[in-house]
Amino acid sequence: MDQTDKRIIEELGLNSRITMKELGERVHLTGPAAATRVEKLEDQGIIEGYGVQVNHAKMGCYTYAFLNIYIKETSHQPYLAFTREKKGYVLNNYKISGDGCYLLESRFPSNEALNEFLVELNEYANYKLSIVLDKA
């Protein structure tokens, strides 16, 4: 992987819908050469996929929270099944070291929905809750 590949990844990170022609211009390649590089990065597993950034508040999810999860039982499977059921609220569920077992990133349409989630979560785990006030 050279500097051009790194620039391609950077540009795709800023806008994954960019045309190969425009991407090539930004990294000083032709469009077909840029497309070949992107395909190679995908084949190597360096580029795993493409995504969309969503404004969750405009979609009605106003409460943004992180939870440090402390599993109550030795088996994590019931907790993991619960979080898979709650896909609409759970954005990411990271297994971590340090403070807790998992770091759960979540969004809720209201504090009431968050509270209902926490009541159900308490069956599987204890938690520390941090509500996001603003993005720095």
Domains of the chain: 3-43 (1.10.10), 57-131 (3.30.70.920)
Long-range (24+ apart) CB contacts under 8 A made by 82-85 are: 82/120, 82/121, 82/123, 82/124
User: Taking each helix axis from N to C terminus, what angle separates 3-14 and 20-27, rounded to the nearest 10 degrees?
Assistant: 130
Is the pTM for the entire model greater than 0.85? Answer: no
Taking alpha carbons only, the member of 59, 41, 61, 60 closest to residue 50 is 41
pLDDT of residue 44: 97
pLDDT (tens digit per residue) in 78-112: 999 999 999 999 999 999 999 899 999 999 999 99
pLDDT (tens digit per residue) in 2-33: 999 999 999 999 999 999 999 999 999 999 99
C-alpha–C-alpha distance, residues 66 and 68, integer Å = 7
Counted residue by residue, the chain has a size of 136
For the chain, what percent of residues have pLDDT higher than 90? 86
